[in-house]
């Protein structure tokens, strides 16, 4: 028996996916602002403080829980979508960039999953979306985007988004995986997370992003993405700010004209 709303869903698409959630009468889904795509008539939208997982919480409690979400860069508010009509209704949420949507059944995953702060897309009402501090010194100093993460708690379905291809690893007790911090999408509650320094003067001078990486130690499940949004944004930014000398003066001029730079 679940305490959270029980929802049915279907994920559509390949590279630019969206999740279609089917709501029975009075069932509700919650989502971040900006993820909404479309919905049937008969679904009521409402903006709420935080995630709405504790409807009887005091105003100060709601402000405090919603304020904590600001530390992860998220909004104070979330949007609820409730079926107030007759029969089943559908609401859809789209991924913000190319990648995959990962469905998480929190009841089967120990009722808590830790994820990157920008990974959450939507969930069944009752799922709590909070923050997870990594208390270890190394994580705090060098974890970057991995230091403050989101935690999804409850027994309902939640959906997170990842960039590029997604792979799932099952770690055995004591098994350790070394990974770029940005490539972590989510992991289950029993996985131990830390940041490790790669020693050696060659690594320090020439290793670039390899100087620090995350270590994930089992047991538990880890979801990994091949294209973190920060890496994609960095490549796009660098491409737009340098001259393509390798193309030569003639081809370079033609290329700039095709790009609109020569007009």
CATH label of the domain that carries residue 65: 3.60.160.10
Q: Is residue 246 part of a domain?
A: no
Residue closest to 177 by CA, chosen among 157, 188, 198, 193: 193
Task: Flag the least confident range among 98-107, 134-143, 188-197.
Answer: 134-143
Give the global pTM: 0.78
Handedness of CA 125, 126, 129, 134 (dihedral sign): negative
Residue 64, domain member (yes or no): yes
- Please tell me the distance from the alpha carbon of residue 114 to that of residue 19, in angstroms, as a whole number: 21
Residue 254 resides in a domain:
no
Asked if pLDDT for residue 44 goes beyond 80, the answer is yes
The mean pLDDT value for 164-177 works out to 95
Q: Which domain holds residue 205?
A: 8-240
Average pLDDT, the chain: 79
Cα four-point dihedral sign 34, 65, 146, 178: negative
Q: For residue 33, which phi and psi values (nearest 5 degrees)?
A: -60, 135
User: How far is 176 from 201, CA to CA, in rounded Å?
Assistant: 24
Please state whether beta strands 112-115 and 99-105 pair in parallel, antiparallel, or not at all (unpaired): unpaired
CA distance 157 to 56: 22
How many domains are there within the chain? 1
Is there a domain that residue 41 lies in? yes
pLDDT of 179 higher than 80: yes
pLDDT for 86: 92
**85 pLDDT higher than 50:** yes
The answer to the question of residue 164 being in a domain is: yes
Alpha-carbon span 210 to 142, nearest angstrom: 12
Q: Check residues 15 and 49 and name the one with the higher pLDDT.
A: 15
Express each pLDDT in 1-33 by its tens digit: 778 898 999 999 988 899 999 999 999 999 988
Q: Within a domain: residue 233?
A: yes
**Residues 204-220 pLDDT 10s:** 555 554 466 789 999 99
Cα-based distances in Å from 28 to 37, 58, 90, 92: 16, 21, 11, 13
Nearest partner of 184 among 253, 118, 109, 249, judged by Cα: 118
| Bigger pLDDT: 171 vs 96 | 171
**pLDDT higher at 112 or 180:** 112
pLDDT at 181: 83
Q: Is 134 within a domain?
A: yes
For the sheet with 28-31, list strands across it: 43-49, 77-83, 28-31, 120-124, 157-163, 99-105
Q: Of all residues in the chain, what percent carry a pLDDT higher than 70?
A: 69
Average pLDDT over residues 89-108: 94
Look at residue 262 and tell me if it is in a domain. no
Percent with pLDDT over 90 in the chain: 48
């Amino acid at each position: 028996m679940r305490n959270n709303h029980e929802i049915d869903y279907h994920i559509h698409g390949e590279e630019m996916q969206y999740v279609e959630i089917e709501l029975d009468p009075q069932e509700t889904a919650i989502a971040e602002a900006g993820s909404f795509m479309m919905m049937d008539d008969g679904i009521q939208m409402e903006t709420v403080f935080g995630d709405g997982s504790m409807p009887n919480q005091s105003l100060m409690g709601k402000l405090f829980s919603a304020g904590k979400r600001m530390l992860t860069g998220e909004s104070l508010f979330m949007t609820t979508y409730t079926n107030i009509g007759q029969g089943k209704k559908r609401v859809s949420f789209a991924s913000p960039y190319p990648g995959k949507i990962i469905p998480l059944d929190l009841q089967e995953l120990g009722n808590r999953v830790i994820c990157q702060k920008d990974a959450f897309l939507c969930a069944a009402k009752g799922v709590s979306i909070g923050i997870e501090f990594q208390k270890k010194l190394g994580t705090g100093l060098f974890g970057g985007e991995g230091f403050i993460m989101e935690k999804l708690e409850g027994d309902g379905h939640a959906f997170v988004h990842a960039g590029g291809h997604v792979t799932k690893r099952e770690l055995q007790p004591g098994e350790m995986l070394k990974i770029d911090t940005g490539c972590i999408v989510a992991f289950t509650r029993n996985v131990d997370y830390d940041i490790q320094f790669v020693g050696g003067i060659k690594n320090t001078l020439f290793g670039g992003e390899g100087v620090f990486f995350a270590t994930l130690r089992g047991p538990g499940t880890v979801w990994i993405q091949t294209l973190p949004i920060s890496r994609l944004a960095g490549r796009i930014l660098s491409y737009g700010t340098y001259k393509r000398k390798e193309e030569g003066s003639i081809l370079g001029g033609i290329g700039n004209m095709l790009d609109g730079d020569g007009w």
